[in-house]
Copies of this chain bind each other. A is one copy, B any other.
Amino acid sequence: MMADKIFRVNMTDLSVSIEDVPADWLGLGGRGLTSTIIAAEVPPTCHPLGKYNKLVFAPGLLSGTRAADSGRLSAGAKSPLTGTIKESNSGGTASQLLARMGIKALIIEGMPEKDIFYRLKVNTEGVSISEETALVGRGNFAVVDSLPDDVGVLSIGQAGENRMSAANISVMDPDGKLRSLGRGGLGAVMGSKKIKYIVIDPAGSPKTMPLVDEEKFKAAAKVFAKALHDHPVSGEALPEYGTNILINIVNEIGGLPTRNSRYGQFDGHDKISGEKMRELIDARGGKPRHGCHPGCVIQCSQVFVDKDGKYVTSGFEYESIWAMGAGCCIDDLDILAEADHLMDDMGIDTIETAVAIGVAMEAGVIDFGDGVGFLGLLREIQQATPQGRILGSGAAVVGKVYGQTRVPVVKGQAIPAYDPRSVKGIGITYCTSTMGADHTAGYTVATNILKCGGFVDPLQKEGQVELSRNLQIATAAVDSTGLCVFVAFAVLDNPDALPAVVEMINARFGSSLTVDDVTALGKSILKTERAFNQAAGFTVQDDRLPEFFEEPVSPHDAVWDFTGEEIDAFWDF
């Protein structure tokens, strides 16, 4: 089979090159590859929106194969939100297409002198760069609606064009709708490079990946898919209710950050729960199950429709619903769905933006619970008014601009949907993740709440550092395969799952990796990322939660009580 290549686009002189993959990078994919490239080629202290930053897209090692749930795409850069290295991953069709086209990574570097936007068209031969005017100033839906369904699309909306720190990059999904490379402001990096969208045209590439050992692959893939299917979380709960099944669960254990992290439970939880959402979808004729990429067997997504059965949004996730719902005390799913759509269209991280608005509510910009006001603020972001620019810059900037102290961020990134005081393992992940506060970096909730891979009491300190460490190492490896983070439940509980993953990789590449090698890869990725951050000026003082988490949170009166030394022990590996 043809060797994979690196496609490199220089936006300063609009040149393109196709390069062999360096030997060191051959065994890498996804996050492992984006982080390695960023660490190798981007000066850690550079301005994230300047000419020295680079934007790298890389499919996972298993992307493009028939491995279940292997279609995640990684994007990497130095983050304008956090100043750290950043990997963000997403579903959509782009990852599988890039992989089948033999594109190991697409690197975008430099930036144009002129203030005009471009579109890139990637095919197996190379990349063409054209000036774009028609779609500039328009949302992501206008972009995907203008393109055929069989190409891959990476696009930015108005938030990315305006280089807002919370801007994301949208990825077209199998239905021609949107998924997001959500966190860390990578849309602003794409905007700084003046790229409105990238079309990935797979013409001439094989439908499935060539594999070194087809039979071995098929057998392992079957074991793996079965493990996903057999697990109650990935086989039942997620397909049935989507990620939003978590609203009631996390509310019940008192870990649902409510009213800008003031409380741990939300009175209106029933009105925004996964159960309620399913009820509405069924009654209105929406689609309760949906995959973000072909080959997903979990199907945790859904299509949410309005009272008239009209499409409103898809990929309506727990994190978004929590952030707007409990975080901002808005208990109306229809408003949240409209807001979700608006944020997808303008291309902005729902977590960061809703937490930012929660901080603005704390400052009195609008009242908690004001759903109409929330939608109005989103339109200000879309229009890039001064108010909108503040909010689009993320929660930390909102806190600074309004002189607030209750600002739930780590390394400038908004804390997601689990209060670290009452789910202490995830607090360790927020502190120590190389990405800023990020639940997916080491999803201890699986063990703290869902009791996968055993149980570590979320209210006690014991065992949390080790739990977060093990999960962050595993996740860094999983994020390199193109597999969805939700395979973790099966991996934690089913001893057949991880060996099957390793077997699939070996069958694809003809390698002879072991499970230990995968762990070593995870460790190595984390260390590469941390070294970048340290060279950028980050210290252990950045691995801390904000001061206000010393306040007790209801219902357990839990406080954040880890010492710096205890947190820093995370890195003892």
Contacts and interface: CB of A to CB of B under 8 A. Distances in A.
Interface in A356-408: 385-387, 389-390, 393, 397, 400-405
Contact of A541 (B45, B192, B547): B45
A296 interface: no
A389 B401 contact: yes
A275 B21 CA distance: 65
A541 B546 contact: no
Q: How many chain copies does the complex carry?
A: 2
Interface string A231-261: 0000000000000000000000000000000
Given A386-B387, A387-B386, A403 B541 contact: no
A3 to B, nearest CB: 36
A346 to B, nearest CB: 15
Contacts of A400: 80, 165, 393, 397
Q: Which 7 A-B pairs have the closest CB atoms?
A: A163-B403, A537-B541, A386-B387, A386-B386, A50-B405, A537-B539, A389-B401
Contact of A547 (B52, B402, B540): B52
A297 interface: no
A402 B165 CA distance: 9
A303 interface: no
Given A45-B544, A386-B386, A403 B164 contact: yes
A47 interface: yes
A513 interface: no
A542 interface: yes
What class of interface size applies to chain A in its complex with B? Answer: 35 or more
28 contacts: A44-B541, A45-B541, A45-B544, A46-B547, A47-B546, A49-B404, A49-B405, A50-B547, A50-B548, A52-B547, A80-B403, A162-B403, A164-B403, A165-B403, A188-B403, A191-B403, A192-B403, A386-B387, A386-B390, A393-B400, A393-B401, A397-B400, A397-B401, A401-B401, A537-B538, A537-B540, A537-B541, A539-B539
Nearest to A534: B539
Contacts of A520: none
A24 B44 CA distance: 42
A536 B546 contact: no
A569 interface: no
A535 interface: yes
Contacts of A402: 163, 389
A434 to B, nearest CB: 16
Given A403-B192, A539-B539, A547 B47 contact: yes
Contact of A47 (B387, B390, B405): B405
Nearest to A45: B541
Contacts of A403: 49, 80, 162-165, 188, 191-192
Contacts of A386: 385-387, 390
A80 B401 CA distance: 11
A386 B389 CA distance: 9
Interface in A27-47: 44-47
A400 B403 CA distance: 16
Interface centre among A164, A397, A403, A548 (most CB of B within 10 A): A403
Contacts of A188: 403
Contact of A390 (B44, B389, B539): B389
Contacts of A46: 547
A386 B46 CA distance: 29
A127 B475 CA distance: 57
Interface in A190-204: 191-192
A550 B401 CA distance: 29
Contacts of A80: 400, 403
Contacts of A163: 402-403
A188 B386 CA distance: 21
Contacts of A393: 400-401
A333 to B, nearest CB: 29
A42 to B, nearest CB: 12
